[in-house]
Structure 1
Amino acid sequence: MDLRRFGVIGAGIMGCGVAQAIARAGSPVELIDLDDDRLQAAQRTLRSNIRQQKFFDRSAPPVDDQLALIRMTTCYDGLAEVDFVVENVTEEWDAKAGVYARLDAVCKPECVYAANTSAISITRIGAATKRRDRVVGMHFMNPVAMKPTVEVIRGHHTSARTLDAAAAFLKSIGKAGVVVEDMPGFVSNRVLMLTINEAVFLVQDGVAAAAEVDRIFRECFGHPMGPLETADLIGIDTILKSLERLYEAYWDTKFRPAPLLRKMVDAGLHGRKSGAGFHSYAS
Structure 2
Amino acid sequence: MSAPESAEHRLTVLGAGVMGVSIAALASGHGIPVTLVDIDEAKLDRARTALPQQIRLAQLVGALPRDRVAGTLVTGTAVAAAAGSTAVVEAITENAEQKSKVLAEVAAVVPAGTPLITNTSAIPIAELAAAVPHPGLLIGTHFMNPAYVIRNVEVIRGPRTADSTVDAVAGLLSAVDRHPIVVRDAPGFVTSRLLHPMLNAAALVVQRGTATVEQVDALMQGCLGHATGPLRTADLIGLDNLVDSLNVLYEHTGDAGCQPCDLLLRKVRDGHLGRKSGRGFYEYGGAVA
The verdict on a shared fold, with TM-score over 0.5 as the criterion, is: yes
Equivalent of residue 56 in structure 1, options 56, 61, 69: 61
What is aligned with 1:236? 239
Distance 2:67 2:101 in 1: 35
Structure 1's unaligned 5+ residue stretches are none
What is aligned with 2:73? 70
Equivalent of residue 14 in structure 2, options 3, 9, 14: 9
Pick which of 91-100 and 139-148 moved more: 91-100
Distance 2:73 2:119 in 1: 19
**Is residue 237–residue 265 contact of structure 1 (8 Å, CA) maintained in 2?**
yes
What is aligned with 2:29? 24
What is aligned with 1:123? 126
Given residue 130 of structure 2, which amino acid in structure 1 is its aligned partner?
A: A
Pick which of 50-59 and 200-209 moved more: 50-59
**Is residue 3–residue 84 contact of structure 1 (8 Å, CA) maintained in 2?**
no
Summarize the alignment of residues 1-283 of structure 1 with structure 2, pairs less than 5 Å apart: 3-57=8-62, 59-61=65-67, 65-66=69-70, 69-282=72-285
Structure 1 residues 118-157: Cα deviation after superposition (integer angstroms, max 9, x where no partner): 0111111111100100111111000111101100001010
**TM-score computed with the length of structure 1 as normaliser:** 0.94
State the shift of 1:36 in Å. 1.4
Greater helix content: 1
State the shift of 1:61 in Å. 4.8
Structure 2's unaligned 5+ residue stretches are none
State the shift of 1:4 in Å. 2.2
Given residue 244 of structure 2, which amino acid in structure 1 is its aligned partner?
A: K
Distance 2:9 2:183 in 1: 26
Query: CA RMSD for the aligned pairs?
Result: 1.7
SS in 1 for 2:122: coil
How many residue pairs get aligned? The number is 280
Distance 1:84 1:199 in 2: 37
Structure 1 residues 223-274: Cα deviation after superposition (integer angstroms, max 9, x where no partner): 2110000001111111111101111111222211101111111111111111
**TM-score computed with the length of structure 2 as normaliser:** 0.93
Give every structure 1 segment of 4 or more consecutive aligned residues whose post-TM-superposition deviation is greater than 6 Å: none
Distance 2:9 2:225 in 1: 40
Structure 1 residues 4-35: Cα deviation after superposition (integer angstroms, max 9, x where no partner): 21111111111111111111221211110112
Identity across matched positions, percent? 38
**Is residue 152–residue 180 contact of structure 2 (8 Å, CA) maintained in 1?**
yes
SS in 2 for 1:190: helix
Distance 1:179 1:6 in 2: 21
